[in-house]
Amino acid sequence: MKKQLFFVETVEGPPFVIKIRFESNAPMPDLVARLSTYLEMTLSQDKAHYVIDMENIPFPSVKLIALLVAAAQRARLRNGELKLEKISDTARNKLNAFTAWSYLVDPPDTAALPVAIASAIPAVAHEEGSANPLAEIAEPPLLLDLDNDLYPATDIKNFGDLTALNLAEAQSFTLRVESSVSKLYQLCDFVIEHAKLAGMNAREIGKIRIAVYEACLNVIEHAYHSNPENWIDLTVQYNSERFLIVIRDTGLSFQMKPQTDYDVQDAVAKRRTGGFGMHIIRRSVDHLEYHPDRVNGNRLIMLKNLH
């Protein structure tokens, strides 16, 4: 006999509403598989109004959140709605983090979902064995582990223009892409490829990937306000000793604030995400500069020592 993983209650309408409440300590993989089957069945019957009780799911998995997003999309196409209620603080943090990172960096295993639901989830390539940039930062222990794993915070000092450094026998490569979140992986992969050629070890490559991802996402969301009709130039220049990354845009510039102590535990406790991205970038590289320029483009410059 199969274990009961969730309970269903129906409310006669109009509209006809399906209320779903999860069992405590339900195994997440089994729950996702069985819930996806149930949602597919009811959606195919044009039932499109759902209320999901999240009280017993304090840490929803990426796959569960992806399933709920896809189901909500299909329900809305039928003029319905999928609503969540009784959401714990930890679950809310997971949902917030999913939007920023998990959906792009660690996509759900769509093969486990019914075809119709899986088709609503964008497929994103994921490099096997590569670092997973902040895919699960919503849980405080993981957030703190990540913070402790990176370098001590790098101060913003006046190093001059790092692009003027004399990198003897340096190789230089540039990639230009439109300012769309769909291009984030292309930008990260471009840097990773050259970091490997430069001899950077896997641990440092993971840190660089996080920094590039966050920096380019900031350009897209803040400099360009998510308008994909712009572009991002990403240049890497390196020799046997140094690896330089320059991200250039023509969007709105910002004022780089001096380095301050970023209290990760306090940020987690207060569910505050502002400033965390720049904190991670600072701690992922050896030197960091930002040069606003309305004429030639703003440049964020990151330097990584190879030895």
Instruction: Note the pLDDT tens digit of each residue in 152-186.
Output: 333 333 344 555 455 556 788 999 999 998 899 89
Distance CA 295, CA 39 (A): 53
Q: Across residues 13-27, what is the average pLDDT?
A: 90
If you average pLDDT over every residue of the chain, what do you get? 75
CATH 3.40.50.2300 fits 140-305, yes or no: no
The residue whose two tokens read 């490997």 is: 196
Coil/strand/helix, residue 57 = coil
Higher pLDDT, 214 or 280: 214
What secondary structure letter does DSSP report for 121? S
Asked if residue 107 has pLDDT above 50, the reply is no
H helix runs in 78-223, sequence order: 89-97, 103-105, 115-118, 140-149, 184-197, 202-218
Please give the helix or strand (H or E) that residue 28 lies within, else none.
helix 28-44
pLDDT tens, position by position, 27-70: 888 899 999 999 989 988 888 899 999 999 988 888 898 889 88
In this predicted structure, the answer to whether residue 115 has a pLDDT above a threshold of 70 is: no
Q: Can you give the pLDDT at residue 39?
A: 92
- 119-123, 253-257, 298-302, range with the lowest pLDDT: 119-123
| pLDDT score, position 96 | 75
CATH superfamily of 6-118: STAS domain (3.30.750.24)
What would the pLDDT profile of 226-277 be if each residue is shown by its tens digit?
A: 888 899 999 999 998 999 999 999 988 876 655 555 444 454 444 444 455 6
Q: Which residue has the higher pLDDT, 203 or 158?
A: 203
Q: Report how far residue 209's alpha carbon sits from residue 44's, in angstroms, rounded to the nearest whole number.
A: 41
Neighbours of 227 (CB within 10 A): 12
Average pLDDT over residues 131-137: 33
Sign of the four-CA dihedral 124, 127, 133, 139 = positive
Q: Do domains 6-118 and 140-305 have the same CATH topology?
A: no
Q: Where in the chain are the domains? A: 6-118, 140-305
Mean pLDDT of 70-95: 88
Largest Cα–Cα distance in the chain? 75
d(CA 206, CA 57): 30
